[in-house]
Structure 1
């Protein structure tokens, strides 16, 4: 792990943070750099299996760790909004001064921030591609559909003793098949899930359609968090879009078709009907190979 002291300007106040991040090749790569945006819960370890293939391909990987998720510490009065996450992201990326070709890869909640970051950083970073895994869409998915329920859960947890709050939130996330390492991470994940921008992302998608950066999306038909219909609706807003739908296995001949589509189309998506929420693990090899194709 690497550490860098950065500051974000929030509410006209400088907040100094020791940002903890992963950097597989601090001296850079002749191929390019991948920057990972994790979900909620999540960390740089969300991309562990993707990174293993990237290492073989001699592609640099930098994994962001957002404050409050167990690695980079939270700060006083943190609200876990997209605005805060973007201030943190931009400050860290600016401090790293990454040269050469770049691809952003994101999982779940991190997909919003990765998309926003492409638009905000395109002028001073050579971002060739955006790879999204299980993106959150433009309307509430099943895990956050009851906004009232989330508010009630958040309110109740604020009045409970810490040990009781932690137990309640951990059990809630486990009910959706999400494992969290601590009550602190569960609390940060709840807050971050409540601040999704959803339909407010449309202007960013429209701006994305006007730039040359490519988009590749992977999602599963049996995702326990985000329904495939929500992702499909989300993807309909992107221009020049190619779609692939597989039942389970993606064979080599299928990947050759994906290879051709990456070269011929601006955006494409891969739906695997039998996959769940964690294709960052189950499809790590093909995701890493898709990233390599974008660099080429």
Structure 2
């Protein structure tokens, strides 16, 4: 049974606080309150939020099954024949972070499906379950596949990934036959960006966060640390513990291998990043864009603060148009880490071109 809850704002964003730290505000009442509050402000809903029940085997007690209930945005439920964009949110984050693209795609009659992973915001879980979840990229990809199966998504026209959601995205694009193209928005890359260096510190903090008795002391410090590296508005809560576990389980060598597989598959792709991203610095993005995904510089448009677009290079790549793969990039002068919010219309235009390419028709 799937419960449908309307989501009512493109600025909708939840910050669920740890009920042990903030006992007066438990997770679910806060979620309900947020939904009701935003429902008052928007008359025309462009998408709905569904609840999907799934399970995962405990990594702490093998053989034990952990029941999970995830929130999933699905703008056109059960419409299997419609072009479908699947979104994988960042870390921390939620599926609603893809607004306003969700609304804009829906208005173009394109289905958008995106779960919020367990432990984040509208997919909050009981605290004890956090210590049983598998935070590896493989396990998170398996959860995504379960969600897509339940939502009857049998073809992913575009797999759209933001930030650390790209870790799952790279793997799925490389290995799954469901995926027909890839859209990367300020993605994590094949080498660690500045906010996850040095990695031994990340692993140590992740270990500390698994010690439940230390949460009260560590959560406020972690909230400040996230604010300092550029995550504005992030509040203390269990979602920060989840974020640390995901980061510490990431193998950057795997990302490089997945990029190689994506390149071998000649998978159509779009890569967008901002030069003023405080989380992932431009040299790391460009290493991934040019050296691993091998997008030609004459296929990357530099977008200035006025929205003017010029190619990074006017020197042809040497490939003729007939044999040239669909691989494009957008380099924004400004836009920050959530680049699709201020530049949604430019990115939407490129996503529509990507959809037209993989669907073989005008979208």
Query: Normalising TM by the smaller chain, what interval?
Result: 0.7 to 0.9
Is the alpha carbon distance of 1:253 and 1:220 closer, same or farther for their aligned partners in structure 2, counting shifts above 3 Å?
A: closer
1:91 to 126, 143, 146: 146
Matched position secondary structure for 1:281: coil
1:68 matched residue in structure 2: 119
1:1-296 matches, within 5 Å, as 1-9=49-57, 13=63, 14-28=65-79, 31-74=82-125, 75=129, 76-99=131-154, 102-122=157-177, 125=178, 127-157=179-209, 158=211, 161-178=214-231, 179-235=233-289, 236-239=291-294, 241=296, 242-251=299-308, 265-296=325-356
What do you get for the CA RMSD once the two structures are aligned? 2.6
Matched position secondary structure for 2:249: coil
Q: Which runs of 5+ in 2 are unaligned?
A: 1-48, 315-320, 357-363
8 A contact 2:100–2:344 mirrored in 1: yes
Q: Whose Rg is larger?
A: 2
What is the alpha-carbon distance in structure 1 between the residues aligned to residue 78 and residue 145 of structure 2?
21
Kindly provide the CA deviation profile for residues 42-81 of structure 1, in whole angstroms up to 9, marking residues without a partner as x: 1011101111211221111111211111222343422422
Count of paired positions: 287
Matched position secondary structure for 2:271: strand
What is the alpha-carbon distance in structure 1 between the residues aligned to residue 216 and residue 117 of structure 2?
23
1:22 Cα offset (Å): 0.8
Is the alpha carbon distance of 1:205 and 1:162 closer, same or farther for their aligned partners in structure 2, counting shifts above 3 Å?
A: closer
1:240 Cα offset (Å): 5.4
8 A contact 1:133–1:280 mirrored in 2: yes
1:252 Cα offset (Å): 7.5
Is the alpha carbon distance of 1:119 and 1:186 closer, same or farther for their aligned partners in structure 2, counting shifts above 3 Å?
A: same
1:215 Cα offset (Å): 0.7
Instruction: Report the TM-score, using the length of structure 2 for normalisation.
Output: 0.71
Is the alpha carbon distance of 1:115 and 1:156 closer, same or farther for their aligned partners in structure 2, counting shifts above 3 Å?
A: closer
1:99 Cα offset (Å): 4.1
**Could you say which structure has the higher strand fraction?**
1
Instruction: Report the TM-score, using the length of structure 1 for normalisation.
Output: 0.86
What is the alpha-carbon distance in structure 2 between the residues aligned to residue 197 and residue 209 of structure 1?
19
1:115 Cα offset (Å): 1.7
Q: Greater shift after overlay, 70-79 or 164-173?
A: 70-79
Q: Which runs of 5+ in 1 are unaligned?
A: none
Matched position secondary structure for 1:279: coil
